[in-house]
Amino acid sequence: MKEDIEKLENLCRGIIKNSYSPYSKIKVASALMTSTGKTYSGCNIENSSFSETICAERVAIFKALSEGEKEISLIYIFSEKGFPPCGPCRQVLSEFAAKDLKVVIGNEKDHQIHNFDDIYPNSFSKEFFK
């Protein structure tokens, strides 16, 4: 898993420059690996109509889904301060999370690895529709 995390961190470091964050001045990047082993990355994209802002995680997730991917096995969220994923991103992740999804939260200095179930327990999920 260490190599996968390094790969995702490098993708984050490469894409964070594309962050469009003139309002918050907070640049965030995210990169993920799907259960098929493919990787996708994204950065936050703000809007003057703040509610239209989208987080880096959801950009990466939607890029993967729009390419036909179905399940996320590892996701890295990278920012200067090491921000964790927000509530809406956790909810979107829950829809497409592999059973053992790991969430890596990091910054320039280090990172922490979390089990998704630990940071978003008892989520509202598609299981309720079965």
State which of positions 14-73 bind Zn ion (CB under 5 A). 55
Under 8 Å CB-to-CB from 103, ≥6 apart: which residues? 75, 77, 85, 93, 113, 114, 115, 116, 119
Other beta carbons within 10 angstroms of residue 89's beta carbon come to 22
Under the binding rule (CB under 5 A), the answer on residue 89 touching Zn ion is yes
Q: How far is the CB of 109 from Zn ion (least distance, A)?
A: 22
Of residues 24, 47, 86, 112, which one binds Zn ion by CB under 5 A? 86
- Rounded CA-CA distance 79/81 in Å is 5
Which listed residue (3, 46, 52, 57) is catalytic? 57
80 noted as active-site residue:
no
Q: Point out which span in 22-30, 37-45, 83-91, 114-122 binds Zn ion (CB under 5 A).
A: 83-91
Residue placing its CB nearer to Zn ion in the complex, 22 or 37: 22
Residue placing its CB nearer to Zn ion in the complex, 37 or 51: 51
Residue of this chain nearest to Zn ion (CB atom): 55
Query: How many residues interact with Zn ion (rule CB under 5 A)?
Result: 3
| Residue found by looking up tokens 């200067």 in the block | 80
Q: How far is the CB of 119 from Zn ion (least distance, A)?
A: 13
Under 8 Å CB-to-CB from 70, ≥6 apart: which residues? 34, 35, 96
Using CB under 5 A as the criterion, which residues of the chain lie in contact with Zn ion when the complex forms?
A: 55, 86, 89
Write out the catalytic residue numbers: 57
